Amino acid sequence: MYQESEQQFKDQVNAIELQKNEEINDREKECAAWKENIRVLEDKLNERDAQLQEVQKNAELRKQLFETKSDIESLRSEGNSLKTMLKDYNEQFCFRDKHNFLKF
């Protein structure tokens, strides 16, 4: 009787240990799955960061291009004004012969 009780107790302890080990294994699997999900999300975040940096770089380049176009237009307008002023000056103050008249 004592041996049977002792065996039952050992069987119960073994069953509890087996159940706890299964729970530990389940939790370790769950933890591994969470770690993998976190790794995937970090990869996606890094990819999005790279895309954002590219977009910001492109936006800066577009801004510089617009500024350059504006500068070119301003210079072109200023050049046209200077040509007109020079032409007016030549018409008013220079002789119209081919030696003194500046041509464009």
Question: Could you tell me where the DSSP H helices lie in the chain?
Answer: 2-93
**Would you state the pLDDT for residue 92?**
77
pTM, rounded to two decimals: 0.54
pLDDT tops 80 at residue 101: no
| pLDDT above 90 coverage of the chain, percent | 71
**Each residue of 53-83: pLDDT tens digit?**
999 999 999 999 999 999 999 999 999 999 9
Q: How confident is the model at residue 1 (pLDDT cuts 50, 70, 90)?
A: low
Nearest-angstrom CA–CA distance, 29 and 37: 12
H or E, element range at 102: none
